[in-house]
Chain A
Amino acid sequence: MTPIRRTSAMLAVVALGILPAAACTKKNDSSSYGGAPATGAATSASAGGGAKAKVAFVPKLQGIPYFEAMNAGGKKAAEEMGTIEWLYQGPTQADAAAQADIVRSFIQQKVDAIIVAPNDPDSMAPLLKQAKDAGISVATSDTDAPNSVREVFVNQATAQGIGEGLTDSLLEAMGDKGTYAIVSCGQTAENLNAWIKVQRDYTAKKYPQAKIVDVVYAGEDQAKATQMATDLMNAHPDLTGLVGECTSSAPGVAQAVKDAGKIGKVFTVGLGTPQSMKPYLTDGSSSASILWDVENLGYLTAWTGAQLAEGKTLAAKNKVNDKLPDVAFDSATKMLLLGPALEITKDNVDQFNY
């Protein structure tokens, strides 16, 4: 995810592995991020009464559409609930050390709750411990730090949900059979790889007449993803499906099908943001995009912070707002699940403005 970065990054972000991977493999990426300004605490505009609990969210990086959409959801929650002040600040590159600095500054400011989407879950764990020792409630959102003292992980969707959603949507278009290939992004992205594993297992189990013939890695590069999808169609003349595993390759595989004049012969699905997928969903080069409602994830993150700051415990089922009436909390894994993965098609794509 390189400097992309940002868009792809956004999803990639979701896929926790991607960002750090990209940052490591492409030196320039990090320098490019470095060029961005060191932003001061981007505080939401909620009128800061001293009585309000301060809930701080630290994304993997700020300035990309994905996390900005989460920020919008968090601001909305702060306005509607009226009991919290929503603080949002992330590093300008997906860098674990820069992110740690921001978490430290929030600890020093003695906020009431810190919620992190860690770039590096392992190095974030001791910081979360430090925050908790200082009396601050801690949680993760979007990406977990499983071996930490976090009290809740706000999970946007399970790997199972994403992998099965992608497979079902694609195979429905392919008529439950045929060969398909996956254009993934960062090779070491843990989330993407977890989803791909589900796709492999689930395809083998549920669709015995379907087969995954190849998985290629394009990084966070739209043009490269498109070219690789083109090469895959040439390498496998009987190919009838393509999956774009992140926000840069989802429109990329659809564009490749369109360019090759194979709409209706080769079907694609992917993890694409709604507005970038809209033209492809409309012309049929993409059958569906699997994602989750990112703004709702931000809303749920802020809501969770409020609960933690007020010392409330989460029930097995939680009514957050009208859109999130029944959010499940698993007390064994301390995981709050936003809900099932969302299938975005040409029929509902206009409901999303990002």
Chain B
Amino acid sequence: MTTTAPPTSPRPTRRARVLPPPIAGQELVLVAVIALMWVVLALTTPAFASAGSIQPLLVATAPIALAGIGMTIVIITGGIDVSVGGMMMVCAVVTAKALVAFELALPLALGLSVAVGGLLGLVNGLLIAYGRVHAIIITFGTMNVFLFVGLQIFASRTVNGIPSTLQFFGRGVAGRTLGVPHAFVLTLLIAAIAWWYLRHTAGGRHFYAIGGDAQAARLAGIDVRGRILAAYVVTGLLVGLASCFLIAQGTSSLDQSVGNGKELAVIAAVVIGGTSIMGGRGSVLGTVLGALLVQTVTSGVTQLGWPSQLSDLFVGIFIIVAVGADLLRERARRRRLRAKGAAA
């Protein structure tokens, strides 16, 4: 590869040379596509570009993007977590019930939800790191277990009369400061931390190494099990926080549909964001952009007055295009590597 040191790097050391560019091609494409859609929607609909439209759009993007950050790390390691929807149900119903019963303050509610999410993520991580069964099988199993647990906690009733504590992350006035939605800012902040960690720390790079070749990573002295465990726990923690966003965006009652199908929405955001489903490559910035793209499509279709099912079609097309582009990139990369090997 002819990658040169990124210009931002203070000194072009050996380690810096293996870093990918800070913004990958797919992310620039996504930014361009989103910008184009926003411009078109602003010109063709009465109020897309207004604060009353953009603010809720960013709020709706936040939980998927947030859970997507964890999912990105998991997928980079070559795994996947399809239990995210089930985790969201458990976190949301526990938190909602606790809010109703004890009128928890905001930090306590967040802490509870994040702790529950972390616990569920720990279950996934332990089973995957030590179980030697592929992540999709394990998480498919835990998904069903989590949904069962969630439904038991619901006990055949909706949770009604949830206090407005979590509206700090909601769509309404309480969810904004100076017009900026708290949920989205927090998501961006966490994405920035994850981006820096994945890119500039040894621990972060290890996730990529494991996804590229777990055996080689182990031989290189990487604590593969520990890293994989960490990936699922982090996902659980972030899902716990995302669940609070979901409660805030729903209504004052929580029903058993919460989290339903969200694992697919999260995986869609990650894949559209350019993370390779095969592992080894990916970025959380792309995931945030992917989530934003999906929500822009959904809102755009509604605001244009188009039939709702078109948004599913468009998202499907984006997924296929994104995966296709990834496969083409991968093939080109292999060809370059082969050519290099032949030359050597």
A residues at B contact (CB < 8 Å): 1-9, 26, 28-29, 31-37, 62-65, 68, 187, 213-214, 216-218, 220-224, 226-228, 230-237, 247-248, 251-252, 254-256, 258-261, 273, 275-276, 278-280, 354
Known: A227-B56, A252-B250. 11 other contacts (CB 8 A): A4-B257, A33-B147, A35-B143, A68-B157, A216-B302, A220-B257, A222-B255, A234-B48, A234-B52, A254-B251, A278-B160
The tally of residues in B whose CB lies under 8 Å from a CB in A reads 54
- Contact partner of B253 (CB less than 8 A), chosen from A231, A235, A276, is A276
Query: Please, which residues of chain B bring their CB within 8 A of the CB of A2?
Result: 257, 260-261
Let me know if A65 and B157 touch, CB within 8 A. yes
Query: Please, which residues of chain B bring their CB within 8 A of the CB of A223?
Result: 60, 246, 249-250
B299 at the interface (CB under 8 A from A): yes
- Least CB distance from B47 to A in Å reads 4
With known contacts A36-B148, A231-B53, A6–B257 Cβ distance under 8 A: yes
Let me know if B257 and A273 touch, CB within 8 A. no
With known contacts A1-B257, A214-B305, A278–B263 Cβ distance under 8 A: no
B258 at the interface (CB under 8 A from A): yes
Let me know if B302 and A235 touch, CB within 8 A. yes
Main secondary structure of the interface of A (DSSP, over half): helix
Query: Please, which residues of chain B bring their CB within 8 A of the CB of A62?
Result: 156
Can you list, as one digit per residue, whether each of B144-161 has a CB less than 8 Å from chain A (1) or not (0)? 111110010010111011
Query: Please, which residues of chain B bring their CB within 8 A of the CB of A6?
Result: 151, 154, 156, 158, 255-257
B residues at A contact (CB < 8 Å): 45-48, 50, 52-53, 56, 60, 85-86, 89, 140, 143-148, 151, 154, 156-158, 160-161, 170-173, 246, 249-261, 263-264, 298-299, 302-305, 308-309
Let me know if B255 and A247 touch, CB within 8 A. yes
Let me know if A235 and B260 touch, CB within 8 A. no
- 9 A-B pairs in the complex with CB atoms less than 8 angstroms apart: A6-B255, A216-B308, A222-B255, A227-B56, A230-B56, A234-B47, A234-B48, A234-B50, A259-B171
Query: Please, which residues of chain B bring their CB within 8 A of the CB of A26?
Result: 260-261
- Contact partner of A37 (CB less than 8 A), chosen from B140, B148, B154, B298, is B148
Let me know if B305 and A220 touch, CB within 8 A. no
- Least CB distance from B223 to A in Å reads 33
Query: Please, which residues of chain A bring their CB within 8 A of the CB of B261?
Result: 2-3, 26, 28-29, 221
- Least CB distance from A331 to B in Å reads 36
Let me know if A28 and B158 touch, CB within 8 A. no
Query: Please, which residues of chain A bring their CB within 8 A of the CB of B264?
Result: 28
- Contact partner of B158 (CB less than 8 A), chosen from A34, A37, A220, A276, is A276
Let me know if A226 and B299 touch, CB within 8 A. no
- Least CB distance from A199 to B in Å reads 17
List the A residue with the shortest CB-CB distance to B302.
A231
With known contacts A68-B156, A230-B171, A232-B302, A3–B257 Cβ distance under 8 A: yes
* Complex alpha-carbon distance, A248 and B260, angstroms: 13
With known contacts A37-B148, A226-B171, A279-B252, A28–B156 Cβ distance under 8 A: no
Query: Please, which residues of chain B bring their CB within 8 A of the CB of A232?
Result: 302-303
Query: Please, which residues of chain B bring their CB within 8 A of the CB of A280?
Result: 251-252
Query: Please, which residues of chain B bring their CB within 8 A of the CB of A65?
Result: 156-158
* Complex alpha-carbon distance, A218 and B252, angstroms: 18
* Complex alpha-carbon distance, A217 and B309, angstroms: 8
List the A residue with the shortest CB-CB distance to B246.
A223
List the B residue with the shortest CB-CB distance to A354.
B157
List the B residue with the shortest CB-CB distance to A218.
B308
Query: Please, which residues of chain B bring their CB within 8 A of the CB of A68?
Result: 156-157
